[in-house]
Chains A and B, each alone.
Chain A
Amino acid sequence: MKFRCERDVLAEALTSASRGVNNRPSLPVLSGLLLDLHGGKLRVTGSDLDLTISVAIPVDTEREGVTVANAKLITDIVRSLDPGAVMFSVDDDEASVTAGRSAFSVRTIAATEFPNLPEPSGSSVAVDAQAFAAAARQVVSAASRDQDRPILGGVQMETEGEGLRLVATDSYRLAVRDLPGVVILDDSQSVLVPAEALRNLVQLINDEDELRLRIGERDLTFELGEARIMTRRIEGQFPNYRTLIPKDHPNKLTVERGPFVEAVKRVKSVVRDSATPIRLVMKADGLELSVTTQDYGAGFEQLDAKYEGTELAVAFNPQFLIDGAEAAGGEEITIETVDNLKPALLVSSESPDYRYVLMPVRFP
């Protein structure tokens, strides 16, 4: 195997595929990237068997071949090289990487040890890549990162009216985003996609127009030009979230989104754990934000806001509040509440297709 490629192109391909490599792989060979050079293209693949990320780039081929190189090592080396052409060749069990006056040799693993990965299954459907990425970005933060609750670590894709709906919840908050006009599933079909796959997909999407989805019986594949993310579908019943979206709220606070997010971040700076809530006092003349911690001190800030309803003090997890407000987009957000123990609804004036339901936190 021998090829020549620009450093930036190769580094980007290696970095993207490395996101599919688990830090604690189930097989030693899965700490590596599969480098497959055929037909003038280098396909770089990283996988933990649940998630596979594969990227193909054109290279100047001198000798075709296939090998496996340690993902972190080879990526770090290529990224550290000076800009310009990189020569990559493999002889026996050693890869040589040279660029300018730099030269590295790296032990490789026989490609035969790399597991045979399944081919994408299901028919291919095209969606607007930018719209899908924007929607995915809005919901993934609400998915649980707790590995003990795998179903909540997924984003539910389902049909809603004449479009697609993405839903994620970690039981403390719920993010719902509708994509009207995007029809990729049958009426009764729903697919639970690992949020981690969507986080990687969002990072992979730059200025592409088209994203293709293949929904197989057990897996799901996103194809973006020459890049491909294949993930195992999560099996299980997603919570019945529809009853959790409040229908009517007597109290409505409308505030400028940017200053609100900045204020929450500032006041939150005295918080050094994940348990201390931020307290919001909503009243006719505006909004007060405060945090009090026994060990570090307190933070307080006032914001201009429009408020309709009875004066209310309610506390939230500050990071969850930031996540929802940042994802909502738009100039203004509205936080609708019932009382200090019932779920609040956060919506943006400019993005009616997005809803974020957040559970308050008890405070003394």
Chain B
Amino acid sequence: MRLVVARCSVDYRGRLDAHLPMALRLIMVKADGCVAIHADGGAYKPLNWMNAPNTIVEDDSVWVVSNPKGETLTITFEDVMADLHHEFGTDPGLVKDGVEAHLQELLAANPDHLGDGMVLVRREYPTDIGPVDLLCRDAEGNPVAVEVKRRGDIDGVEQLARYLERLDRDPMLRGIQGMFVAQVVKPQARTLAEARGISWQEVDYDELRGIPSDELRLF
């Protein structure tokens, strides 16, 4: 990652022409070649940017960034305040949702929340298109694949349906049933799940964690 703080002007030529007049800005050049010019405001969106792959030609006071589509970004420097290089290495990726992972962990520890007599076979049971969250067996010993989400949307149902299709090819798991579990299962997801023969269940995160609800209800 290269970070340059400088007074500069920027000219973009491509799908349209755009000009940023001379001002103090932050220029980010990422390891993959992406270039982004930021002002001192806004959470994430640069004033101008070019996605990788790019070629950067540096002169004394001018950089010309170009890409295979013929677009160019010309940065003209007046004064460079800082020019820093840092090696970031491989990014571990975004851990999206701690609640979702914890729900899976809690249900793995207490599979009876999913049905009387339900027992866990394995967490993250592998398929050739990715692991299904929980593989269980119900009270009769029938295999059940469980997909756990924080919010249950139709995407999650589709995902589980794909896993079921792969798992059903395994003679040991033939006839496997699916169960879609979330804190809240959206109405569309319920409809789709029922249409696909997948059962769905809502779980209370606090209850699973053993935290009594402060809310008084009739039932």
Q: Do A and B come from one complex?
A: yes
What residues make up the interface of A, taking CB atoms closer than 8 Å to B? 147-148, 150, 169, 171-174, 239, 244, 341, 343, 357, 359-362
Which residue of chain A is the closest to B190 with respect to CB atoms?
A: A150
Residues of B within 8 A of A244 (CB): 218-219
- On chain B, the residues within 8 Å of A148 by CB distance are 184-187, 202
- Chain A proximity mask over B184-219: 1 for CB below 8 Å, otherwise 0: 111100000000000000100000000000111111
Q: A-B contact count, CB below 8 Å?
A: 30
Nearest A-chain residue to B152, judged by Cβ:
A148
A173→B218 contact, CB < 8 A: yes
Tell me the nearest residue of chain B to A239, going by C-beta.
Answer: B219
Q: Is the CB of B218 within 8 A of A174?
A: yes
Residues on A with C-beta less than 8 A from B218 are 169, 171-174, 244, 343, 357, 359
Q: Is the CB of A341 within 8 A of B187?
A: no
Partner of B187, one of A147, A174, A359: A147
Q: How far is the CA of A317 from the CA of B166 in the complex (A)?
A: 50
A169 to B215: give the CA distance in the assembly, Å.
16
> Which chain A residue lies CB-closest to B185?
A148
Which among A148, A172, A361, A362 has the greatest number of chain B C-beta atoms within 10 A? A148
How far is A343 from B219 in the complex, measured between Cα atoms in Å? 11
Question: Which secondary structure dominates chain B's binding surface?
Answer: loop
What CA separation (Å) do A171 and B219 show in the bound complex?
A: 6
> Are A172 and B217 closer than 8 Å at their CB atoms?
yes
Q: What is the bound-complex CA distance between A345 and B170, given in angstroms?
A: 57
Known: A148-B185, A172-B217. 7 other contacts (CB 8 A): A148-B202, A169-B218, A171-B218, A171-B219, A244-B219, A341-B216, A362-B215
Of A147, A150, A171, the residue contacting B217 (CB under 8 A) is A171
Please give, as numbers and ranges, the residues of chain A lying within 8 Å of B219 by CB-CB distance: 171, 239, 244
- Chain B residues with CB under 8 Å of A341's CB are 216
When distances are taken between beta carbons in the complex, the residues of chain A under 8 Å from B217 are 171-172, 359
Q: How far is the CB of A295 from chain B (nearest CB, A)?
A: 20
A148 to B152, CA, bound (A): 11
Residues of A within 8 A of B187 (CB): 147-148, 150
> Which A residues touch B202, using CB under 8 A?
148
- Distance between Cα atoms of A172 and B187 in the complex (Å): 22
- Alpha-carbon distance between A341 and B215 when the two chains are bound, in angstroms: 10
Q: Which chain B residue lies CB-closest to A358?
A: B218
Give the residue of A169, A357, A361 whose beta carbon is less than 8 angstroms from that of B216: A361
**Alpha-carbon gap, A309 to B103, bound state (A):** 46
Min CB–CB distance A344 → chain B (angstroms)? 11
Chain B, residue nearest A315 (CB):
B216
> B185 to chain A: which residues have CB within 8 Å?
148
Interface pair B184/A359, CB less than 8 Å apart: no
Measured CB to CB, the nearest residue on chain B to A149 is: B202
CA distance A141 to B217 in the complex (A): 17
What is the CA–CA distance of A341 and B217 in the complex, to the nearest angstrom?
A: 10
A360–B218 Cα gap in the complex (Å)?
Answer: 10
Rounded to whole Å, the gap between the CB of B205 and the closest CB of chain A is 15
